[in-house]
């Protein structure tokens, strides 16, 4: 490419600042996770337990006010091995991004799986949170460094199907 | 329903960076072609409907406002639709609804994305405190669902490669397609780097600049013109975080398909639909949507791909144009599917034309596989 | 043609800063309230349409987050406009006319407090020629106000009148933000934001959400709803090129009025989407009413929820007709720099 062609555009950087808020429901979740607790919310109609909660059950269109303490273990609902780096994240590829379904929850969230060979990871595998040292805890789900296998027997993925209460 | 028909389809050349044109220039490339094909004049256009995905892709907020003159909306009604990845499809449907409402006779609709103007991965991956920052773009998000599909259906690994090859071979017959890979074959796909297991580089869609425009008209305006008659159209949505949602085989997709089939009087889509342009941004979505849309039985979709049923000469050709896997200006990708379906029944698809295509389907999806827009077009009114 | 009526409207109390409330927490209360007032449930709604803007919320796909506030199982027919929700109402209106739905839910939400609204709105401008000059939205409004003054159709007295009327009317609007009601001298001494506009002339940064339900005549009978009919509704956009426009006029509004063929003198209530005092003056002239008559709710000067304020103008008009304090009403929604895009809705009660 010649120089003239390289200069056929100019960069115009847009910078906007926002005081982003997570929402009251998620704020309560983040305050709990800062203390090492995982707190989900339960739908008063269908009984679905949401984590992290956003304050509603979209299934029924109602607020989820009841809070439920959840364990820091569950299973892998599905996963992918990521082979490309993520902008702004120091983690080295390949790494595993998995949909973690905590026991007692009815939706999953994405997190990392470590402390296992990539080829041994399976859907249905039981996993447990590995926390950062307590001194590093903030209001972030990243207080959990990653999840690791517990060594228990895999669960049948069909058992993750939601049955409305 | 008051009849409505597509009478003009215009598309740009799709490419990774269309630096030869501004945003208005890109859009006009598509609009001018559509209007010329429709054989209408600017004054015949009663309203303009513009669709595109997040404004952050170009860094212009509600760009239809600054584009008002370039898209011929000056002194006319102008509507802007944004329904995530399905937007091209839902925008076409909104434009057609102008006609079916009885309030308008001839509507121009256009959708575009000029992703090279900004950083799309950045725009799609905001850092929120309640999810760990491991979001590696759309592919990283959808890969676990594809893995779950493979687990359920026991599909062999090569199915994904096969879709990637088939769609790129079709793209070689479409001069507008972004990716043109003359020697594409299974070996080549298989040897490209793994991005997000099970997806390899060539099993993923590119990031493109481009625009697509349609002129949609009433029976009176379409009279005597080559037209694609809209026999059924619908949309369905489901909440991202809804418990019990099946992201592999979303209920919203199933319901939307059933709705358009029933509107069009279709009872057996495999037999009665001649070809389909289906939103497949990652290879595995072909077998997944074959099942979701009722062309194949549950967990059997991959066998269609495997046996060549979705090839250009197959029983149900999928993505004759090369599909999203070959050109992906996100906001326009849905409308391209809808427009390509129309081109097929109008007999204007050129080298990627399916013989005797009388009934075709256009499909788009977006968000976390939660927004769906579909239509059926026919050569007969 | 099918008759379509507004059967319910609800608005959150507008706040200058809604604190930590997220999209779901803004939307859910108004949706529940409007359902309650109509005795309908979410399963009666057969089309849903919302209006919002990603750049205001500071994240792509703000409307996707918002959708978590709505019942979506089984999946629903739903769409979204990146516009004020007044246009979501228009989309819903066409969907009903086409036979796709009988009852539609419309909502709009906006949270302007987290960012710098003036800066954000500059991103609406032509990115090649205008945005690099970075005029903000108040600069452009000032340009329009100046053009009006030069043309002799705007005085500081009229602008002051608009502010006093808004502040007074706002006291009767429980959802309004309480704004300063300056004395004439205070107004003249007011801090200039962009000449001739002072801080008093600009609407307050606002957070909130609103929801509306519209239905066909058949559905109104079936569910015992009391509709205010949408007798006429239409919208139009002007050129983006400010130099090409006559800023002392609002051509789309004049054109729509001509199309509607309504007798302006017979209209009981007018609510307009006027974000600056001079816009109140301009629209009151076009609508042929006095500055005190327009915007009995106080209008956007006492609460301007971006992407909902246009729907609110329609909603406030509806409320006046529903409680029988008026028989006919005209509502106006606007978008874009210097009132570029406009929507008018003419509402009527059965006599």
The whole-angstrom separation of Cα C295 and Cα C315 is 12
pLDDT exceeds cutoff 50 at B287: yes
C237 in the same domain as C97: no
* pLDDT at res. B278: 98
Contact yes or no for B251/B238 (Cβ under 8 A): yes
Helix (H) or strand (E) holding C81: strand C78-81
> Which of B95, B96, B101 is the mutation pick for testing C, counting most C CBs within 10 A?
B101
C41 in the same domain as C15: yes
> Which of C42, C50, C73, C122 is the mutation pick for testing A, counting most A CBs within 10 A?
C73
* pLDDT at res. B126: 63
The whole-angstrom separation of Cα B287 and Cα B279 is 12
C143 in the same domain as C62: no
The whole-angstrom separation of Cα C300 and Cα C204 is 8
Contact yes or no for C304/C207 (Cβ under 8 A): no
Query: Can you read off the two tokens belonging to residue B94?
Result: 């909104």
Nearest chain C residue (CA) to B60:
C123
pLDDT exceeds cutoff 50 at C27: yes
In this prediction, the answer to ipTM > 0.95 reads: yes
C79 in the same domain as C215: yes
Show which subunits contact B, needing at least 3 CB pairs below 8 angstroms: A, C
**What are the chain C neighbours of B256 within 8 Å (beta carbons)?**
75
Summary mean pLDDT of chain B: 96
**In this complex, is the C-beta atom of C212 within 8 Å of any C-beta atom belonging to chain B?**
no
- Count of CB atoms within 10 A of residue B44's CB? 15
Q: Are B147 and A79 a contacting pair at CB < 8 A?
A: yes
Contacts of C59 (CB under 8 A, 6+ apart): A20, B126, C65
* pLDDT at res. A1: 43
Question: Does C127 fall in a domain?
Answer: no
C190 in the same domain as C336: yes
The whole-angstrom separation of Cα B351 and Cα B349 is 6
Between A7 and B327, whose confidence is greater? B327
Per-residue pLDDT, averaged over C19-37, amounts to 95
C199 in the same domain as C213: no
- Helix H, strand E, coil C: the string for C110-138 is EECCCCCHHHHHHCCCCCCCCHHHCCCHH
Residue C174's domain comprises 136-203+232-348
Q: Are A58 and C114 a contacting pair at CB < 8 A?
A: no
Per-residue pLDDT, averaged over C14-22, amounts to 91
Domains, chain B, ordered by start: 4-120+205-378 (3.40.47.10)
The whole-angstrom separation of Cα C84 and Cα C93 is 15
Confidence of residue B149 (pLDDT cuts 50, 70, 90): very high
Nearest Cα residue to A55 out of C291, B239, B59, C88: B239
**Total domains in the fold of chain C:** 2
Nearest Cα residue to A123 out of A84, A94, A81: A81
| Residues B226-253: tens digit of each pLDDT | 999 999 999 999 999 899 999 999 999 9
Question: Does C123 fall in a domain?
Answer: no
Contact yes or no for C279/C301 (Cβ under 8 A): no
End-to-end CA distance of chain C: 19
Nearest chain B residue (CA) to C1:
B102
Query: What percentage of chain C exceeds 90 in pLDDT?
Result: 94
| Domain closes at, from C213, C230, C247 | C230
Query: Can you read off the two tokens belonging to residue B21?
Result: 């044109």
Question: Does C126 fall in a domain?
Answer: no
| Residues C44-97: tens digit of each pLDDT | 999 999 999 999 988 888 899 899 999 999 999 999 999 999 999 999 999 999
| Domain closes at, from C173, C195, C230 | C230
Rg, Å, chain B Cα set: 19
Residues B253, B211, B206, A90, CA torsion sign: negative
C97 in the same domain as C164: no
| Residues B20-42: tens digit of each pLDDT | 999 999 999 999 999 999 999 99
Helix (H) or strand (E) holding C94: helix C85-97
C171 in the same domain as C301: yes
Query: Can you read off the two tokens belonging to residue B6?
Result: 């597509």
Question: Does C57 fall in a domain?
Answer: yes
C343 in the same domain as C269: yes
Question: Does C128 fall in a domain?
Answer: no
| Residues A6-32: tens digit of each pLDDT | 667 778 788 888 888 888 999 999 999
Asked which of A53-57, B217-221, B255-259 is least confident by mean pLDDT, the reply is A53-57
C148 in the same domain as C87: no
C71 in the same domain as C45: yes
| Residues C282-336: tens digit of each pLDDT | 999 999 999 999 999 999 999 999 999 999 999 999 999 999 999 999 999 999 9
Of A26, A112, A162, the CB nearest to B134: A112
CATH of the domain at C302: 3.40.47.10
| Residues A69-90: tens digit of each pLDDT | 999 999 999 999 999 887 777 8
Contacts of B328 (CB under 8 A, 6+ apart): B14, B178, B205, B206, B207, B208, B281
How distant is the Cα of B238 from the closest Cα of chain A, in angstroms? 8
Residues A90, A91, A93, A99, CA torsion sign: negative
The whole-angstrom separation of Cα C78 and Cα B369 is 14
The DSSP output letter for B57 is G
The DSSP output letter for B76 is S
C226 in the same domain as C182: no
């Amino acid at each position: 490419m010649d120089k003239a062609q390289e200069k056929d555009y100019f960069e115009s950087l847009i910078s906007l600042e926002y005081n982003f808020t997570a929402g009251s429901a998620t704020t309560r979740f983040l305050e709990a996770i800062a203390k090492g607790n995982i707190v989900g919310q339960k739908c008063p109609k269908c009984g679905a337990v949401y984590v992290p909660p956003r304050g509603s059950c979209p299934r029924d269109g109602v607020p989820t006010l009841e809070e439920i303490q959840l364990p820091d273990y569950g299973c892998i609902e599905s996963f992918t091995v990521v082979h490309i780096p993520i902008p702004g994240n120091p983690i080295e590829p390949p790494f595993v991004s998995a949909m973690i379904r905590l026991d007692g929850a009815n939706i999953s969230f994405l997190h990392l799986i470590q402390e296992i060979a990539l080829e041994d990871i399976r859907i249905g595998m039981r996993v447990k949170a590995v926390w950062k040292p307590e001194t590093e805890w903030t209001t972030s789900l990243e207080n959990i460094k990653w999840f690791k296998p517990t060594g228990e027997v895999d669960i049948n993925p069909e058992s993750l199907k939601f049955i409305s209460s | 329903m008051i009849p409505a028909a597509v009478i003009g389809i215009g598309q740009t050349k799709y490419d990774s960076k269309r630096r030869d044109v501004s945003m208005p220039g890109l859009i006009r490339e598509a609009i001018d072609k559509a209007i010329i094909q429709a054989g209408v004049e600017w004054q015949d256009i009663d309203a303009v409907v513009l669709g595109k995905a997040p404004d952050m892709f170009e860094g212009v907020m509600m760009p239809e406002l600054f584009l008002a003159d370039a898209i011929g909306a000056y002194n006319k009604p102008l509507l802007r639709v944004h329904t995530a990845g399905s937007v091209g499809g839902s925008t076409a449907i909104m434009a057609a609804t102008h006609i079916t409402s009885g309030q308008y006779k001839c509507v121009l609709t256009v959708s575009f994305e000029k992703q090279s103007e900004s950083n799309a991965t950045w725009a799609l991956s905001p850092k929120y405190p309640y999810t760990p920052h491991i979001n590696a773009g759309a592919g990283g998000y959808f890969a676990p669902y594809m893995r779950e599909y493979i687990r359920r259906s026991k599909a062999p690994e090569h199915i994904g490669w096969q879709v990637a090859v088939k769609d790129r071979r079709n793209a070689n017959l479409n001069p507008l397609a972004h990716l043109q890979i003359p020697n594409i074959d299974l070996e080549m796909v298989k040897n490209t780097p793994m991005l997000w297991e099970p997806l390899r580089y060539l099993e993923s869609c590119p990031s493109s600049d481009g625009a697509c425009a349609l002129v949609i008209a009433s029976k009176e305006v379409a009279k005597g013109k080559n037209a694609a008659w809209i026999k059924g159209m619908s949309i369905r949505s489901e909440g991202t975080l809804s418990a019990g949602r099946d992201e592999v085989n979303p209920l919203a997709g199933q319901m939307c398909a059933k709705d358009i089939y029933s509107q069009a009087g279709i009872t057996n889509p495999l037999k009665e639909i001649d070809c389909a342009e289906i939103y497949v941004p990652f290879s595995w979505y072909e077998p997944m949507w074959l099942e979701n849309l009722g062309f194949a039985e549950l967990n059997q979709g991959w066998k269609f791909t495997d046996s060549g049923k979705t090839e250009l000469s197959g029983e149900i050709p999928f993505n004759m144009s090369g599909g999203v896997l070959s050109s992906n200006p996100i906001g326009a990708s849905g409308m391209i599917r809808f427009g390509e379906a129309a081109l097929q029944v109008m007999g204007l698809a050129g080298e990627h034309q399916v013989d005797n295509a009388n009934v075709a389907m256009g499909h788009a999806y977006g968000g976390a596989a939660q927004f769906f827009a579909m239509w059926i077009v026919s050569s007969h009114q | 043609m099918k008759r379509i009526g507004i059967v319910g409207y609800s608005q959150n109390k507008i706040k200058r800063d809604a604190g930590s409330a997220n999209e779901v927490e803004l939307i859910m209360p108004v949706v529940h309230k409007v359902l309650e007032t109509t005795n309908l449930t979410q399963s009666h709604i057969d089309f849903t349409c919302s209006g919002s803007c990603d750049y205001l919320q500071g994240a792509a796909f703000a409307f996707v987050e918002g959708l978590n506030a709505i019942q979506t199982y089984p999946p629903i027919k739903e769409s979204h406009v990146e516009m004020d929700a007044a246009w979501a109402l228009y989309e819903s209106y066409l969907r009903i006319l086409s036979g796709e739905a009988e009852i539609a839910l419309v909502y709009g939400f906006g949270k302007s407090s987290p960012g710098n609204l003036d800066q954000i709105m500059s991103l609406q401008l032509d990115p090649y020629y205008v945005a690099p000059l970075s005029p903000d939205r108040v600069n452009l409004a000032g340009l329009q106000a100046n053009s009006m003054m030069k043309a002799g159709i705007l005085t500081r007295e009229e602008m002051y009148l608009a502010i006093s009327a808004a502040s007074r009317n706002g006291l009767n609007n429980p959802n309004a933000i309480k704004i300063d009601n300056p004395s004439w001298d205070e107004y003249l001494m007011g801090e200039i934001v962009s000449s001739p506009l002072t801080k008093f002339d600009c609407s307050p940064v606002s957070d909130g959400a609103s929801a509306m339900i519209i239905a066909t005549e058949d559905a109104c009978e079936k569910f015992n709803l009391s509709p205010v009919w949408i007798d006429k509704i239409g919208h139009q956009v002007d050129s983006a090129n400010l130099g090409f426009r006559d800023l002392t006029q609002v051509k789309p509004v004049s054109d729509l009025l001509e199309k509607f063929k309504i007798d302006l003198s017979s209209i009981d209530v007018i609510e307009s989407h006027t974000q600056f005092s001079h816009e109140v003056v301009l629209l009151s002239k076009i609508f042929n009413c006095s500055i005190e008559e327009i915007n009995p709710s106080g209008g956007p000067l006492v609460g301007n929820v971006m992407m909902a304020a246009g729907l609110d103008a329609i909603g406030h008009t509806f409320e006046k007709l529903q409680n029988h304090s008026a028989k006919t009403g005209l509502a106006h929604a606007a978008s874009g720099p210097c009132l570029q895009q406009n929507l008018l809705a003419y509402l009527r009660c059965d006599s």
